[in-house]
Amino acid sequence: MIPKKVLLAPIDPVHDVGIKMIRRGVEEAGHQTVLLQPDLTPEEIIREILKHSVDVVLLSRSLGYGVAEILARFVDLADAVGIRQSVRLGIGGMAIRPELAAELGFDAGFGPGTTIEEALAFVEGREYVPQSVRQKKEKKDIVKGYTYKYRNETIAGLLSRITDNILSWASDKTSPGVLRAQVREELWDVDRWRNYEKMTEFLEEYPKLCGDLPRNFYEKGIMHPKTRRFVREEVVALESYIRATRERMEVPRLQHTLLKPLVFNQYGTGCPFQDTGHIKVSEAWGADGVIHFDPSWGARTEGFLDGFLTHQEDGTVITPANLNRIRNSLEPGTLWQVRAHRGLNTPETVVLAGKFKADLTKINICYGALGAGTDPARLTVDAVAAIRYAAKYGMHFDVVTNEELSGVPAYRAFAGMLITVDLALRLGGRPILQPLFCFSPEVMLEGYMRDNYVDFNVAKIAALRRIIDAPIWPGAPIGFLTHTEDRVQSSTSTAYHASLAAMLGVDAITVASSDEAYSGGPISVPAKVDTLRAVAEGFRFFGGSRIEPSGQAGVWSGEIEAGIERVLKQVVDRGEFVDAIYDGILGSREEGVYPGRNGRDTVMKK
Amino acid sequence: MSRILDRVMDAMDVETFLVCSSEDEGRRLMLQFLKDIGFSDVDIVFIQFQGPGVRVRARAYIHRPGDTYGWLKADSAEGEDVK
């Protein structure tokens, strides 16, 4: 490298910080520099160029007004004195756009965000090759390091008795959902399916266990009215899109200096193609994991369809081909969760997710039975089977508490969550606590967030940590019911909640898009970018620092813990866990939830 | 123009501040504007009126889920079983 003589001049009344930083980089690379002061005229700068006989000139301009005129004047003067052939001219700064620089005749124009390395490459007359920022993201094990030891022995004892009851009650029962999961597990092989081999035994048994919609599909070829199959040309185009995107793909980290929380967002536009587009954007803007969101009718339908299907409404249909294609589109480090928690296909969803190597699933008896419409007895039988499959496939699962959104107080929802957690531990599963960070009806009525969104959320985490050493993944999404249609407000709210989650040291969060509160159409991909950018900025702003909750957080966490214990005692006193759900002990009609009716009377003796 | 719109993954938002005397007027003007420039699948995502006018974000969906996406350059009849 031949050292150059470089003149740097702010062609600007005031601003010269950027060019000073460029100067430092240029000098460190072994070049000689001359730095001029701000507020010189083009004539004065030209005189200095001639005086110092420089090889390269770097100008900077931050102020936008009059920029074209002053730069045009500079170039005219440079032409007039004949330095254009011997001196390379570059211009950069906040007011500069590369197209303007080129139009005016500069050799290079550097817009906002230019790095020192780019300017240095120009000085040295070489092509700028961006340093690879491609990061290898490794999948993280959310449950690693947790002992699942109870710290509240009273609660541990109550949960143990409830688990005994659930297992005893369910031991002689089954359901169409459990039987379908068995058929899927035993008669459906993913490798044979990928080879287009017909699985006759499976196709004979499976439709018999399905409701009308899937049975008509298998026996008569009738599609769901809102679905259609993709065609080969579309699939080839999708594969090409994924391949090309992967080649350009970078996977940044959002967490700045922190190791956690992992950041998840949901997809579920209805269309696996659109989902794939959204997933690749989410990954490119730093999401660590994505969550499959299925249509609400899927939870009320006995059985799954088959084929590579798009759906014209919210939620992407679970079929082997849809899961397979989405799975194959993911970056290697992206965690993938397939929700199984709430409907009539809970155990089979876990089996399919396991066969397609999902990392995570989602199961909660109480939420599914109270907030999502599935009969409590049916979901209890199905959940026991689902948890066993999750343990078999090594899939950890969160236990969500979304019944809080329907009006169930946090302590009661947490009691339900801990019941599923304890059951899971007994069956060899690794559950993840999922309290909500939300502006729930309870919070509105009681005024818990009249002053701030911090204290009550802190109280929830503190209460759970006093009960058990287990991973925590607030959701879903964080800031639920705080968002408005304003993308700035929505993204900011998510970012603050994410920052609070980071300060509390939780393991993962699920974030919304800035379209969270907009219900007029599908979520758009720019809305996902808005939120991910805001979350990254929140992590950057707070880093490893902490904010101090008020003393009220401690008071509320004690009340939540006491409330959980009280509810669990009531469940034990009731005798049967399933009856406790029907009776409203884990969420009542007065609070706004009702025992679900989907799948009622479908529980059978084995 | 239409070839560039093919590249829009799903929707295009237009944000601005309109000088007007009410939220209703701002909403009507913004939707009319999107229709005038050729969009049909349009909605107001966010609008807030204060004395000087409205801060508004309007949306035109270019590709809804289940459409044939221009950015995938695919166009064919349906029917095959693809895994």
Are A409 and A444 in contact, with CB atoms under 8 Å apart?
no
Residues A165-189, mean pLDDT to the nearest whole number = 97
pLDDT in tens, A72-92: 899 999 999 998 888 999 998
Nearest to B45 among A196, A277, A518 (CB): A518
A589/A13: higher pLDDT: A589
Are A437 and A500 in contact, with CB atoms under 8 Å apart?
yes
Contacts of A346 (CB under 8 A, 6+ apart): A177, A340, A363, A368, A374, A379, A382, A383, A385, A386
In 3-state terms, what secondary structure has residue A462? helix
pLDDT band (50, 70, 90) for residue B28: very high
Which range among A93-107, A128-142, A368-382 shows the weakest confidence by mean pLDDT? A128-142
Q: Write down the architecture of domain A5-123 according to CATH.
A: 3-Layer(aba) Sandwich (3.40)
**A486 contacts B46? CB cut-off 8 A:** yes
pLDDT in tens, A199-257: 999 999 999 999 999 999 999 888 877 778 888 888 888 888 999 898 888 889 999 99
**Residue A477 to residue A508: CA distance in whole angstroms:** 11
Which residue ranges make up each domain of chain A?
5-123
Are A507 and A475 in contact, with CB atoms under 8 Å apart?
no
Say yes or no to pLDDT of A340 above 80: yes
Say yes or no to pLDDT of A425 above 50: yes
Q: How far is A327 from chain B (nearest CA, A)?
A: 12
Question: Which pLDDT score is estimated for A165?
Answer: 98
pLDDT in tens, A529-555: 999 999 999 999 999 999 899 999 999
In 3-state terms, what secondary structure has residue A362? strand
* Strands (E) located in A197-334: 227-229, 262-267, 289-292, 309-311
Phi, psi of A392 (to 5 degrees): -60, -45
Q: Beta-carbon neighbour count of residue A46 at 10 Å?
A: 19
**Residue A446 to residue A556: CA distance in whole angstroms:** 12
Q: Is A592 an 8 Å CB contact of chain B?
A: no
Residues B22-29, mean pLDDT to the nearest whole number = 97
Query: Is A532 buried (19+), middle (13-18) or exposed (0-12) by CB count in 10 A?
Result: buried
Say yes or no to pLDDT of A65 above 90: no
Residues A491-520, mean pLDDT to the nearest whole number = 96
Question: Which pLDDT score is estimated for A289?
Answer: 97
pLDDT band (50, 70, 90) for residue B77: very low
Question: Which pLDDT score is estimated for A351?
Answer: 97
* Strands (E) located in A67-140: 88-92, 108-110
First to last CA, chain B: 35
Are A438 and A428 in contact, with CB atoms under 8 Å apart?
no
- Residues from chain B that touch A321, judged by Cβ atoms under 8 A, are 82-83
Strand-pair category, A56-60 with A32-35: unpaired
Nearest to A235 among B43, B66, B82 (CB): B82
Question: Which pLDDT score is estimated for A135?
Answer: 63
Strand-pair category, A227-229 with A309-311: antiparallel
Q: Is B45 an 8 Å CB contact of chain A?
A: yes
In 3-state terms, what secondary structure has residue A178? helix
Report residue A332 as tokens. 């290697």
Question: Which pLDDT score is estimated for A467?
Answer: 98
Phi, psi of A265 (to 5 degrees): -135, 165
The residues pairing with B60 across neighbouring beta strands, listed in sequence order, are B12, B42
Q: Beta-carbon neighbour count of residue A353 at 10 Å?
A: 28
**Residue A356 to residue A340: CA distance in whole angstroms:** 14
**B13 contacts A524? CB cut-off 8 A:** yes
Say yes or no to pLDDT of B78 above 50: no
Which range among A128-132, A345-349, A361-365 shows the weakest confidence by mean pLDDT? A128-132
**Residue A485 to residue A520: CA distance in whole angstroms:** 10
Q: How far is A387 from chain B (nearest CA, A)?
A: 28
In 3-state terms, what secondary structure has residue A314? coil
Are A580 and A394 in contact, with CB atoms under 8 Å apart?
no
Mutation for B interface: A198, A486, A492, A530, most B CBs within 10 A: A486
Contacts of A517 (CB under 8 A, 6+ apart): A483, A484, A485, A490
Residues A271-279, mean pLDDT to the nearest whole number = 92
pLDDT band (50, 70, 90) for residue B1: very low
Question: Which pLDDT score is estimated for A334?
Answer: 96
**Mean pLDDT score of chain A:** 92
pLDDT band (50, 70, 90) for residue A110: confident
Please give the CATH number for the structural domain made up of B2-64: 3.30.30.60
**Residue B57 to residue B14: CA distance in whole angstroms:** 6
Question: Which pLDDT score is estimated for A132?
Answer: 55
Say yes or no to pLDDT of A39 above 90: no
pLDDT in tens, A304-331: 988 888 877 778 889 999 999 999 999 9
**A196 contacts B71? CB cut-off 8 A:** no
**Residue A278 to residue B70: CA distance in whole angstroms:** 15
The CA–CA distances, whole Å, from A315 to A292, A295, A308, A508 equal 8, 4, 14, 23
Q: How far is CA A125 from the centre of its chain?
A: 42
Question: Which pLDDT score is estimated for A2?
Answer: 85
Question: Which pLDDT score is estimated for A495?
Answer: 98
Nearest to B81 among A234, A307, A310 (CB): A307
Question: Which pLDDT score is estimated for B67?
Answer: 84
- Report the percentage of chain A scoring pLDDT > 70: 99
Say yes or no to pLDDT of B79 above 60: no
Q: Which is nearest to A464 in space by CA: A565, A545, A551, A585?
A: A565
- Residues from chain A that touch B73, judged by Cβ atoms under 8 A, are 237
Regarding an ipTM greater than 0.85, the answer is: yes
Which residue ranges make up each domain of chain B?
2-64
Question: Which pLDDT score is estimated for A133?
Answer: 52
Q: How far is CA A345 from the centre of its chain?
A: 24
Contacts of A480 (CB under 8 A, 6+ apart): A405, A436, A437, A438, A439, A440, A512
Query: Is A69 buried (19+), middle (13-18) or exposed (0-12) by CB count in 10 A?
Result: exposed
Say yes or no to pLDDT of A430 above 60: yes
Report residue A430 as tokens. 């690794």
